[in-house]
Amino acid sequence: MTKTFLPKLVTLIAGLVLSVAAIASEGSATQQSGTDLGDRVSLQRGAQLYMNYCSGCHSLKYLRYSRIGEDLGLSEDEVMNNLNLTGAKFGETIQTAMPADHAQQWFGQTPPDLSVISRVRGSNWIYTYLKSFYLDESRPLGWNNQLFPNASMPNPLWQMQGLQRAEYGKADATGERPVEKLVMAQAGTLEAEQFNQVARDITAFLEYAGEPAVLKREAMGVWVILFLAFFTFLAWLLKTEYWKDVH
Ligand code: HEC
pLDDT tens digits for range 32-69: 999 999 999 999 999 999 999 999 999 999 999 999 99
Across 45-68, b (16+ Cβ under 10 Å) vs e yields: bbbbbbbebbbebbbbeebbbbbb
Ligand 1 atom closest to 103 (CA): 12
Q: How far is the CA of 32 from the centre of ligand 1 (A)?
A: 20
Query: Which amino acid is residue 30, in one-letter code?
Result: T
Q: How far is the CA of 148 from the centre of ligand 1 (A)?
A: 11
Ligand 1 atom closest to 121 (CA): 27
| Predicted TM-score of the model (pTM) | 0.83
**CATH topology for the 29-235 domain:** Cytochrome Bc1 Complex; Chain D, domain 2 (1.10.760)
Q: Is 47 in the pocket of ligand 1 (CB under 6 A)?
A: no
* Beta pairing, strands 60-64 & 93-94: antiparallel
Residue 108's pLDDT is what? 85
* pLDDT tens, residue by residue, 184-215: 999 999 999 999 999 999 999 999 999 999 88
- Nearest CA to 72 among 100, 103, 37, 98? 37
Taking the C-alpha atoms of residue 131 and residue 92, their distance in angstroms, rounded to an integer, is 31
Residue 177's pLDDT is what? 87
Q: Is 208 in the pocket of ligand 1 (CB under 6 A)?
A: no
Ligand 1 atom closest to 154 (CA): 1
pLDDT under 50 in the chain at which residues? 1, 25-27
Pocket test for ligand 1, best of 57, 107, 198 (most atoms within 8 A of CB): 57
